Each structure stands twice: as structure tokens, then as C-alpha cells.
Structure 1
Amino acid sequence: MTKLLCPSMMCADFSCLEKEIEDLERGGIDIFHLDVMDGSFVPNFGMGLQDIEYICQKAKKPCDVHLMITNPGDYVETFARLGVQIIYIHPETDKHACRTLQKIKDAGAQAGIALNPGTSFDSIKDLLYLCDYVLVMSVNPGFAGQDYLDFVTPKFKKLVEQAKKYGGYKVMIDGACSVEKIKLLSAIGVEGFILGTSALFNKGRSYTDICGELRGL
């Protein structure tokens, strides 16, 4: 199974962002992952609109945006106009998540949901018909550097098993995505991996070498 390697650009070196983008693409990544936080749904602030616009303009590979914000439906068109091709929302923050997912599709992007560790499969299963991607949080959203929550692993298995029934969405992992977890979860059938400091950044090695090793796991 092909792995989707998705660097979390919140972890990139913003002092040389254009070079980071070029080096990551040369290294073989698939999707740039962009985090947006509002300080309300999660106790932190993420990337700004100017950051996202810049990366979308410079990148040759597609960009996604992970909206860790309240009322994400109000901002779908904004991010689609910036050039984002995949938009994740948290159904926990949206009273009308079904409508928002359709709004993402109508804006010309692919739709995804991001699930907190405590969000069950049964609570979101009816939304899966509208999803191109399902991003499972294996840590509580908002901060890098947390430990993987082992109780989330059965949810990955359930989502992979049910994917065909609901139209064939791709299952992704976000949070504490280490080499060991990539090996474990790819064997289960997880396709996409959001890469931060656990597997990609600040390793003192080229992205080409690291991405090559991750694909070979």
C-alpha cells in the first residue's frame, strides 16, 4: 500500500520556509499539512492565513488544512480560495457538520473529518459518506510532542475495516507519528501519516533519506 507522507508545516523552520518547501518536495513528500487553531477549541494558536497562502503558492504538491476551530463552516470558502485542496473539520465543533462537508465539496476541495481521541466511530459514522479523508488524532489536538494514546489504535482498525462500506475514504494519523507507529499502522491499512518531530523534522538528516526509509517500512 502506498503511504501518503504529510509533513506538519507547524514544525518546519519558518526562517527559511521556501527552502523547507523545496527540500520536502525533493525528499518525496505527498501533501503539506497545515494546522489552524483558534485558541478556543484547542488552547493554542496555529498558522495564520498569510502562512497558508504562502505555502499554497510555493508548493507544487497539494496542501491540506486541519481546522481546529469553532464554526469551521464559516471559513471553508476562504481556505479554498487560498489554494487548499483538502479541508478537515472537527465534527465536535460543528452543529451542522454534514452541511459543512458538502460545502467543502461545493468549493472544489476534498472533505475530511478529524476525530479527537475520545470521539467514537458510532458518533460520526453517518458523516463518512461525505468524507474523502478521515484524520484520527492519536493525541489531544493543539500541541506537538505528546505521547501516542494506545487506546486509539482499535479506532484505526475499525475505520479501515469500514472504509469500503462508506465510499472508500482514506484513513490518516495525526499525532506522535513515530517510525514504530508508521510501521504498525501501515500494516493495519492506514494510508496517510502526518509527520512532525517524531519522524521527520529536526533529525539532522536529509528529508530524502528519511522519506525513503519511511516508505520502506
Structure 2
Amino acid sequence: MSEPIKERGMTVKDMKLSPSIFAADLGELKKQIKELEDSNIDFIHVDVMDGHFVERMAFGADHIKALKSMTHIPLDVHLMIEHPELHIESIADAGADIITIHQESTARVLSCLHKIRNRGIKAGIVLSPGTPEETIKYLLDDLDMILLMSVNPGEGGQHFLGSVVDKIKNVKAMVGDRDIDIEVDGSIDNKTIKPCYEAGANVFVSGGYLFQGIKEHTETLRKAVKE
């Protein structure tokens, strides 16, 4: 496969999967978490939605705490909420291993990142499709992860936005040799994962596609980036 990132002297980090628990069958949650563990999943992606920053509402500190008691898989918590600075402590106390906040959600972005890192938790920034990547230029040394949305956050029934591929390339160039994961979230399947990986992303959030058949589709996604 073509690897434009390597041509610029950079390498893509090891691929990681972060299935979105929002797409799980809550009636079969323990069984599906066991399947994720058996498939050696890297993270579980947990969307926290407040009904204000995005239209939907989902999960909170109590749900994160319950998930933490059920699995050893690190929890990748994505805060789609207004004023995340008010909730970082409760999310951290609940057991989050990574907390990402939206660039658009607060005027206190850097303060939030410091608060997260001071708890010994990895901190990340999220960019919605319409938010330019240049807005994180001065945050790079305070980041462990950059999450790029390939759909509008918190809305269902969307298609993958191909423009995110160029955005990934630009972010990868900005990151340089820093130890920062580049994550992509939104309509990731066996067709969309490969161009994102080649562009420089290494962590992939998959919801509906992966939970249609955890073992089979986990293998398919991993195979897709290697072929």
C-alpha cells in the first residue's frame, strides 16, 4: 500500500482499536465486553453527551465507574459536553484512562488539559469536522491524543467525510516526532480505515460496524490496514 507519511520521514504508530460502547447491546454488555477482551482490543471508547453540546445524552461518571469494574481494557472517554472543566474530576474519579475534550467546548482548553494530566490521565483534544487543525498548534506539547471527527459529533445516520483524510495528514505533520496518538471517530469500517491509517491515524473508533460481529470485524479492520 502507499504510505505518504513515511515518504515525509515519519512513521505511523501501531494501530489500535477503540470500539464505541455506545453501539453495544446493553442487554448483552458483559458478553460483548468479554468478546472485546478476547479480541485484544486496545481501548473502549466511551462517549459522554450532555444534550447541549450535542443533541443526544449518553453515559456519565456512574456508567464509567460501572464499566471500569467490568473490564481491564483502558477507557477512552470522549467528553461531548459544554464546560468540561466542571466534570473532569468526577470522570477521572470514575476510572477514565484517557479523557478527550472538544476544542469548541470551552475557553479553558489548556487548563482542562493540565487538570487531566495532573490526575495521571492521558489528555486529548477533539476537533469537529468544521474546526481547523491550526487551532491546536499551541497545544501540542500538552497532548497525548488528538481525536479527529469524521462525522458531526452526536448525530446518527451520517456518512464518513472524506475531507478528514487530508486533515489527518496535516495533523500528522504538525505532530512530528511527538508521542501523540491520532484517533479518528465516525463511520469507521473496513473501507474507511485504510485511507485514515495511511494518512497517519493510528487509533480508530468503530461503533455500529464493529459490534455487528466483534471477533470477525475486529480481524477485518486489522487486516484492512495491513493489505
Question: What is the SS of the residue equivalent to 1:36?
Answer: strand
**1:18 — aligned with what?**
30
Please show how residues 56-205 of structure 1 align to structure 2 within 5 Å: 56-164=68-176, 167-197=178-208, 199-202=209-212, 205=213
Are the counterparts in 1 of residues 113 and 143 from structure 2 also a CA contact under 8 Å? yes
Separation (CA, whole Å) in 2 of partners of 1:146 and 1:157: 22
Separation (CA, whole Å) in 2 of partners of 1:13 and 1:122: 38
Question: What is the SS of the residue equivalent to 1:150?
Answer: coil
Separation (CA, whole Å) in 2 of partners of 1:26 and 1:11: 18
Question: What is the SS of the residue equivalent to 2:163?
Answer: helix
**1:208 — aligned with what?**
215
Question: What is the SS of the residue equivalent to 1:117?
Answer: coil
Question: What is the SS of the residue equivalent to 1:124?
Answer: helix
Separation (CA, whole Å) in 1 of partners of 2:148 and 2:108: 20
Separation (CA, whole Å) in 1 of partners of 2:220 and 2:150: 22
RMSD: 1.3
Q: CA deviation at 1:178?
A: 1.8
Structure 1 gaps of 5+ residues are none
Structure 1 ranges of 4+ moved more than 3 A: none
**Higher mean Cα deviation, 55-64 or 42-51?**
42-51
Are the counterparts in 2 of residues 200 and 210 from structure 1 also a CA contact under 8 Å? yes
Deviations 1:77-130 (A, max 9, x none): 111111111000012111110011000000110000110001101122111221
Are the counterparts in 1 of residues 88 and 116 from structure 2 also a CA contact under 8 Å? yes
Q: CA deviation at 1:49?
A: 2.7
Question: What is the SS of the residue equivalent to 2:134?
Answer: coil
Q: CA deviation at 1:75?
A: 1.1
Question: What is the SS of the residue equivalent to 2:201?
Answer: coil
**Higher mean Cα deviation, 33-42 or 183-192?**
183-192
Q: CA deviation at 1:147?
A: 0.6
Residue correspondences, number: 212
Question: What is the SS of the residue equivalent to 1:134?
Answer: strand
Separation (CA, whole Å) in 1 of partners of 2:200 and 2:133: 17
Deviations 1:1-50 (A, max 9, x none): 52111110000010121111111111221100000111111111111332
Separation (CA, whole Å) in 1 of partners of 2:133 and 2:187: 21
Length-normalised TM-score, structure 2? 0.89
Length-normalised TM-score, structure 1? 0.93
Amino acid paired to 1:96: R
Amino acid paired to 1:131: L
Q: CA deviation at 1:58?
A: 1.0
